[in-house]
Amino acid sequence: MFMTKISRRTFIGGSAAMVALLSTPEWAMALITQPYPRLKIANIKDLKVGEPVSFNYPDEQSPAILIKLGERAIGGVGPEGDIVAYSSLCTHKGCPVSYSKKRFVCACHYSMFDPAKNGQTFQGHASEWLPQIILRFEPRTGNIYAEGVEGLIWGRIRNILKSSKISKL
Ligand code: FES
């Protein structure tokens, strides 16, 4: 019978790596293992401060909102760093949020989220921040693309579903 001798150090190192892997949250695993689609959302010339643009990302079942805030924001893109996007499903129970007066508001139980601060929740039942869509601005064309999601979209165990389909631009 063939046997491989494993040193104590190799065994402990391998065990530690396995424990770390198994304790990684599901959404973090999804970020590590699943590629996000690249989606053109809008062109900067079509955006106006305070006027939201709706789109779906990373698939057609996942509504999101792009907004030009008119002030620099965490994760903001564009010349002023003020363009951000978020999943529009409230992290409490999945009701749609809407943009109003520099915040996202959920009409179901009035949770509020700050679009300038990573979607931080600051009022209401929601304890999780609104998932932020990772954006890329292309200065040459003015196009704005979605390239990922930071945080877990409400109601999902992973952001990228096996059956996900979206038309990439
Ligand atoms: S579903 Fe949004 S606060 Fe309850």
**Does residue 31 lie in a domain region?**
yes
For residue 93, the ligand 1 atom closest to its alpha carbon is 1
Picking from 85, 101, 102, 90, the residue whose alpha carbon sits closest to that of residue 146 is: 85
**Does residue 18 lie in a domain region?**
no
pLDDT of residue 29: 54
Residue 15 — φ and ψ, nearest 5°? -65, -40
How far apart are alpha carbons 125 and 23 in whole angstroms?
Answer: 27
For residue 97, the ligand 1 atom closest to its alpha carbon is 2
92 has catalytic annotation = yes
User: Is the pLDDT confidence value at 72 over 60?
Assistant: yes
Question: pTM for the complete prediction?
Answer: 0.79
Answer yes or no: is the C-beta of 117 below 6 A from any ligand 1 atom. Answer: no
Q: Which domain holds residue 126?
A: 26-150
CATH number at residue 53: 2.102.10.10
**Does residue 168 lie in a domain region?**
no
pLDDT of residue 2: 45
User: Is the pLDDT confidence value at 61 over 60?
Assistant: yes
Burial of 168 (0-12, 13-18, 19+ CB in 10 A): exposed
Picking from 23, 40, 117, 5, the residue whose alpha carbon sits closest to that of residue 72 is: 117
Answer yes or no: is the C-beta of 111 below 6 A from any ligand 1 atom. Answer: yes
Residues 6+ apart with CB under 8 A from 131: 86, 87, 91, 119, 149, 150, 151, 152, 153, 159
The 10s digit of each residue's pLDDT in 95-141 is: 999 999 999 999 999 999 999 999 999 999 999 999 999 999 999 99
The pLDDT confidence band at residue 162, using thresholds 50, 70 and 90, is confident
**Does residue 1 lie in a domain region?**
no
Picking from 55, 76, 52, the residue whose alpha carbon sits closest to that of residue 64 is: 55
Hey, which residues does 54 pair with through a beta bridge?
Answer: 65
User: Is the pLDDT confidence value at 167 over 70?
Assistant: no
Residue range 26-53: average pLDDT? 83
In sign, the C-alpha dihedral spanning 18, 19, 25, 28 is negative
The total of structural domains in the chain comes to: 1
Give the distance from CA 40 to its chain's centroid.
15
